[in-house]
Structure 1
Amino acid sequence: MSQMDHAQSGTPGFVTWFAATLPGLGLTFGIAVAAMAVQRLSGTPALSPLVVAMVLGIAVRNLIGTPAVAQPGITFSLRRILRLAIVLLGFQLTLAQLRAVGLPGLAVISVTLAATFLFTKWAGRALGVERRLAELIAAGTSICGASAVIATNTVTRGADEDVAYAIACVTVFGSLSMIAMPVLGSLMGMDAAHYGIWTGATIHEVAQVVGAGFQHGAEAGQAATVAKLSRVILLAPMILTLGALARRRGGSAHGSAPTPWFVLGFIAVVLLNSALPLPEGAKAQVVTLTSSLLTVALAAMGLETDLRKLHAKGIRPLALGALAWLFISGLGLALVGLV
């Protein structure tokens, strides 16, 4: 068979795949566009379009129903688009940010992250919370909110309802931190650097960190943002470690745990961005693209979430989220005071 024959035989396969995927992609992208519009119209930068997209997706799934024809596109959004977005997230991070935080700041961030993850896993067992859900709450609380939850689930492989519950937890308690920490920081008379490290090392979402940090002044806001982005870099070793542990356990009920190769892509992009940073204009476009793709992935997650299953999980996971939130906030404050 000639090369032209090979090309022609491959074309129908791609056309068939594209036709099957298009309805679901149209649905997830449509919900993502609506979520970003809601965020802009609200005038609230801390309102994450990721969370809005998930809520809208849940509403469509549970009020209208997800059409079967959309399933291939929804699955593509949850897998391929999500992994691409996490790789592109590396363009927002550089090794210089780690140096800017300094060794004491990095020590606070690393110890707080590791201790919170382990405490949350332990507390989950004590409360009787299912292991996968506890792991997702631990990742979202200790690293970077919704992005960490959906990235960690590539190796944890929890149900979509587990992901939705974990994201709800980190959204609620991260928002409480965004409201409470500026007040507490002022009452305790914290200087900009210490306050920035505290908020950056403990608040769940990047947008929540920015919202809380800049309420204490520009210097505190910049310190908080850099600390938070340094914390996000630790997402890569965390997922690789969890993937290795899952394979040692023999995988999960959903099959053997995959190797999260996309995390290596994330690391490579961070290294590339450190050596050859993008121009500001191009970086802004990549940031927008990354946020948009993550929003699409969360829309797909919402479309896969059954509220009846979510309700059946009860209040214990919410209690776990609260305990994890109190733990990371208190430990971060204590370590900042010591360092």
Structure 2
Amino acid sequence: MNALARTETPILAGPSQTRRQAARDDRDSARLLPGLLLAAGIAAPAFALRHLPGLSSFSPMIIAIVLGIAFHNLVGTPAAARPGVAFSMRKVLRFAIILLGLQLTASQVAEVGATGIAIIAAALVATFTFTVRLGRLIGVDQKLAELIAAGTSICGASAVIATNMVTKAPDEDVAYAVACVTVFGSIAMFVYPLLPGLLQLGPHAYGLWAGASIHEIAQVVAASFQDGQQAGEFGTVAKLTRVMMLAPVVIALGVAARQRAKSSRAAQSSPAAPMPWFVLGFVAMVGINSLIDIPAEAKAWIVSLTTFLLTMALAAMGLETDIRKLRAKGLRPLFLGLAAFLFIATFSLMLVKLLG
């Protein structure tokens, strides 16, 4: 009889468990809503502000993190919003990075050619390695150095926040790294168009150089199209190819973090760094976009949605950033960002001149 009761109990409790789970889901959704609305409420004006004179060259992601930092330090992030803000920085970000894969196809990568891909990959690896090692030499925290390295060598703010899913650096480190890649990427955006004639670079070579070395996609587009349509189109494709390399870099960093955690005595009581499976989703979306012809209208909508979700994630990052902690970092990370920018610019130019 007791055995029968034990076997029947889970069956009888099923509907009750379902109702309790539904109630918990409702409570979780209600807890997330204030933070999600706040992050979206900052992301929306960031899109609008980029249409103002002087701000059109900045991505809405950059504007959003500035607005988020200003709100947090002048007004204060409400306690009720914190769960939704944290959700935006993690779950929303992962989903946006997966959708980012729909902006690239295998055929676009093929247009760059084997030599172009080799130049982009070599510049990325060399810059990342140089930045991390220089950071160690000048006393910059390893996690912050890795974020600056990722943002400089791959794709600016998007790479910084994607890399942080593995490095787990403080939000102030993320904000500092985003600031570095924004400042020096913006300098490149204005300086690069002055150099093709001086450096004797044709449209193809200049586009490849811009795509292989400038930080943000928007900055590459702005700089490369200054030298004409051909340079602009090739620079954009080269940059998207560089974005594709986000996947192996983040996976490699995840594996390295797991190995460090396993070998550390302090990590015995804490879980190892998670494998960034969302990056595999990014690769899967590239494959889908390569095999399926997505209508232009749908693709434009997806691109806008992806940018908005990334902007929400950066707004959430700003809402967790304390300026006092940023100041405490000092000028050494800024110097590291400058050195990384100069390295990728000169190293990639050398490769373009020799091989491109």
After the TM superposition, which of the residue ranges 160-169 and 248-257 deviates more from structure 2?
A: 248-257
Partner AA of 1:21 in structure 2: L
SS of the counterpart of 1:158? coil
Q: How does 1:223-242 map to 2 (within 5 A)?
A: 223-242=234-253
Structure 1 residues 225-270: Cα deviation after superposition (integer angstroms, max 9, x where no partner): 0000000000000000000000000179885211101111111111
Correspondence for 1:197 among 203, 208, 215: 208
In the alignment, which residue of structure 2 is the partner of 1:271?
A: 287
Cα deviation for residue 86 of structure 1 reads 0.2
In structure 2, how many angstroms separate the alpha carbons of the residues matched to 1:6 and 1:281?
43
Stretch moving more, 11-20 or 48-57: 11-20
Shift of 1:2: 7.3
**Corresponding residue for 2:181?**
170
1:268-322 Cα shifts (integer Å, max 9, x gaps):
1111111113111111000000000000000000000010000000000000000
In structure 2, what is the equivalent of residue 141 of structure 1? 152
- Aligned pairs for 1:317-332 within 5 A: 317-332=333-348
Residue 261 of structure 1 corresponds to: 277
Match of 2:353 in 1: 337
Q: Contact 1:31–1:296 (CA<8 Å) still a contact in 2?
A: yes
Q: Which runs of 4+ in 1 moved over 3 A?
A: 1-7, 41-45, 251-255
| TM-score between both structures, scaled by the size of structure 1 | 0.97
Deviation at 1:100, TM superposition (A): 0.3
Q: Root-mean-square deviation (CA), in Å?
A: 1.5
Report whether the alignment pairs 1:116 with 2:132.
no
CA distance in 1, matches of 2:151, 2:271: 23
Distance 2:153 2:58 in 1: 20
Report the counterpart of residue 38 of structure 2 in structure 1.
27
Q: Which residue of 2 aligns with 1:55?
A: 66
- 1:41 partner SS: coil
Question: How far apart are the structure 2 equivalents of 1:185 and 1:309?
Answer: 40
Query: TM-score scaled to structure 2, two decimals?
Result: 0.92
SS in 2 for 1:230: helix
The aligned length equals: 339
| Cα deviation, residue 188, structure 1 | 2.3
**8 Å Cα contact 1:74-1:300 kept in structure 2:** yes
Q: Which residue number in structure 1 is paired with residue 22 of structure 2?
A: 11
Separation in 2, partners of 1:209, 1:10: 48
Residues of 2 paired with 1:216 and 1:255: CA distance?
50
Question: In the alignment, which of 43, 63, 85 is matched to residue 96 of structure 2?
Answer: 85
The Cα of 1:34 is off from its aligned counterpart by 1.3
Contact 2:69 2:321 in 1 (8 A): yes
Structure 2 distance, partners of 1:297, 1:258, is 20
- Counterpart residue identity of residue 186, structure 2: S
- Which runs of 5 or more residues in structure 2 are unaligned? 1-11
For 2:256 and 2:309, locate their aligned partners in 1 and report how far apart those are by CA, in whole Å.
28
User: 2:295 aligned with 1:284, yes or no?
Assistant: no
Q: Deviations over 1:176-235 (max 9, x none)?
A: 111111101132231100000000000000000000000000000001000000000000
Asked which structure has the greater CA Rg, the reply is 2
Correspondence for 1:294: 310
Q: Displacement, 1:87?
A: 0.2
Match of 2:320 in 1: 304
- Which residue of structure 1 aligns with residue 191 of structure 2? 180
